[in-house]
Amino acid sequence: MDAKLREIIKQHLTYEIEMLFATQAKLQAGEPDRNVRNALIESFCIHARNLIDFLRGKRSGVRASSVTYDYTPFADGEIDREYRRMIEEQITHLGFGRTSNPVEQINGRVQATLLSSIAKELMRFKHHIREQYPCPWEIEIGDQIIFKKFAETE
């Protein structure tokens, strides 16, 4: 179990974070193709949802509390419930929550807020992680939020 948790933190969690940042960067660059842009938005939202669920300990799967000491998810402020609802209704379900109104869709402002909130929480999480689960990444928050993946050491 311990080896599997190390793999999840080292590879799979890192992948989720890397994809969140990569899709956001591509969206900010201004993808002109509508279908590609929509696929990037969907990808961003799925990775955001996976990270939020991991950190909050919701749904099935590995939870941040499984690899940390004294970690309270989102102790500095929960991700806006409306944004979580938007992901559920606009991305992961074909339901009545879908909208054609651009103002009500998951736009650049919503994405930037999600990225910032998740990045801040991942930094908090990393301070609580047990030493046997090294994280090969760093996040810097300044004028711009930057994700850095370290080279593989093993």
In sequence order, what DSSP letters do the residues of 73-115 get, joined into one string?
Answer: TTTT-PPPHHHHHHHIIIII--STT--S-GGGS--HHHHHHHH
Looking at residue 60, its pLDDT comes to: 81
Contact 5, 67 (CB under 8 A): yes
Question: What is the tens place of the pLDDT at every residue in 15-74?
Answer: 999 999 999 999 999 999 999 999 999 999 999 999 999 999 987 889 999 999 999 999
Q: Considering the domain boundaries, does residue 57 fall inside one?
A: yes
For 53, the enclosing helix (H) or strand (E) is helix 34-56
In a domain, 34, yes or no: yes
In a domain, 13, yes or no: yes
Structural domain total, the chain:
1
Instruction: Please give the distance of CA 152 from its chain centroid, rounded to a whole number.
Output: 21
**What pLDDT shows up at residue 143?**
86
Residue 55 lies in a domain: yes
User: Does residue 123 fall inside a structural domain?
Assistant: yes
Question: In the beta sheet, which residues pair with residue 139?
Answer: 147
Query: What's the one-letter identity of residue 101?
Result: N
In a domain, 97, yes or no: yes
pTM listed for this prediction: 0.92
d(CA 121, CA 75): 9
* Structural domain contains residue 154: no
Query: pLDDT at position 97, please?
Result: 80
Residue 108's domain comprises 2-149
pLDDT at 152 over 70: no
